[in-house]
Amino acid sequence: MWKRFSSNIGAMIGVVLLLAVILIAIFAPLLFSHTPWQMVQRPFLTPFTMDGLPLGTDTLGRDVASQLAYGARVSLLVGLVSTLVALLIGVPLGALAGFYGNWVDEGAMRFTEFFQTIPNFALAIVLVAIFEPTLISITIAIAIVSWPPVARLVRAEVMSVRKREFVDAARLAGLSRPRILMTQVLPNTVSPIIVMASLMVATAILLESSLSFLGLGDPNAMSWGYMIGAARTVIRSAWWLSFFPGIAIVLTVLALNLIGEGLNDALNPHLSRKGKA
């Protein structure tokens, strides 16, 4: 499997990019002597004009490069945690619905549809506005709007797996139903979940950025969306303030998508795109 993954050039580029972002995020305090909120130089310093401030300064004279590095922490953290939470909601619900069927399925799916009928982003905005923007409320809001597709996917996978012969065999061997679900069915649905999760992280990063852009970010956490939102009013005089965080978002999301696609190809060889030997 690793072999198939590593031979996918796109996926490897994705891994390198993501690793770079992760390293910058982890070592941000070592890379920059000042915090992203510190006013270190005169405002609106253009990039590449002063040593130590490679990407210039923002409207208050804060270091843009440092803001980017600290912003990576927020983006990655929110992306990962909210995806984990979404999996924790979506996987059990989808598994129960798919495995037990009947009224359990009916109930769970109507509940899921209830969330699916509300536009994701609108719901996220409402949730964050109600609970006041903090990293925790943003993470939870993103998780709440992103679990329904997980439940749907897991349900479909479980439904197809539970009819397989090895499940019948397990049942004949006398295993209890919950045990069959946990030990026989679920492990066989893991690969599509992994692929989906990697793409969900990317979506979550985009959602967080959009919320921050609209001013619904945590005002005490530097994030890429916040940087772009704050730079919007000066976009004509200070392009770099929105350009660099924009690039950071594009590269990170691209990296996650490349990885997701690579995983997809590696884990589901039957579905691998045509044209590849």
Partner 1 sequence: MTKLRATTFLIAATLAAPLAAQQEGGRLDIVVQPEPPGLMLGLVQNGPTQLVAGDIYESLLRYNSDLEPQPSLAESWEISDDGLTYTFHLHEGVKWHDGEPFTAADVVFSADVFLRETHARLRASLTYVESITAPDDTTVVFQLKEPFGPFINAFEAGTMPIVPKHIYEGTDYATNEMNATPIGTGPFKFDEWVKGSYIHLVKNEDYYLDGKPYLDEVFYRVIPDAAARAVAFETGEVDVLPGGSVENWDVPRLTEMDGVCSTGAGWEFFAPLSWMWMNNREGPTSDVRFRQAVMYAMDRNFVKDVVWNGFGKVATGPVASSTNFYSDDVTQYDYNPEKAEELLAEMGYDGEAVRILPLPYGETWQRWAEAVRQNLSEVGINAEIDSTDVAGWNEKTSQWDYDLAFTYLYQYGDPALGVSRNYVASQISKGSPWNNVEGYENPELDEKWAAAASMVTPEERAVAYAEIQKEIVDDVPVAWLQELEFPTIYRCDVQDLVTTAIGINDGLRDAWVEE
The footprint of partner 1 on residues 21-40 (CB under 8 A) is 37-39
Judged by CB under 8 A, the stretch of 47-55, 97-105, 128-136, 256-264 that binds partner 1 is 128-136
Q: Using CA atoms, how far apart are residues 191 and 49, in angstroms rounded to an integer? A: 48
Can you give the three-state secondary structure of 196-243, one letter per residue? HHHHHHHHHHHHHHHHHHCCCCCCCCCCHHHHHHHHHHHCCCCCHHHH
- Tokens standing for 159? 């439904």
Judged by CB under 8 A, the stretch of 98-106, 113-121, 169-177, 218-226 that binds partner 1 is 218-226
Q: Using CA atoms, how far apart are residues 142 and 219, in angstroms rounded to an integer? A: 17
Determine, following the binding rule CB under 8 A, whether residue 216 of this chain makes contact with partner 1: yes
Determine, following the binding rule CB under 8 A, whether residue 239 of this chain makes contact with partner 1: no
CB of 75 to partner 1, least distance (A): 18
Q: Using CA atoms, how far apart are residues 203 and 90, in angstroms rounded to an integer? A: 16
What are the residues whose beta carbons fall under 8 Å from the beta carbon of 172, sequence distance 6 or more?
none
Please tell me the count of residues contacting partner 1 according to CB under 8 A: 20
Q: Using CA atoms, how far apart are residues 160 and 145, in angstroms rounded to an integer? A: 26
Between 132 and 168, CB nearer to partner 1 = 132
Between 19 and 60, CB nearer to partner 1 = 60
The footprint of partner 1 on residues 55-74 (CB under 8 A) is 59-61
Determine, following the binding rule CB under 8 A, whether residue 228 of this chain makes contact with partner 1: no
Site of interaction with partner 1 (CB under 8 A): 37-39, 43, 59-61, 129, 132-133, 215-216, 218-220, 230, 233-234, 236-237
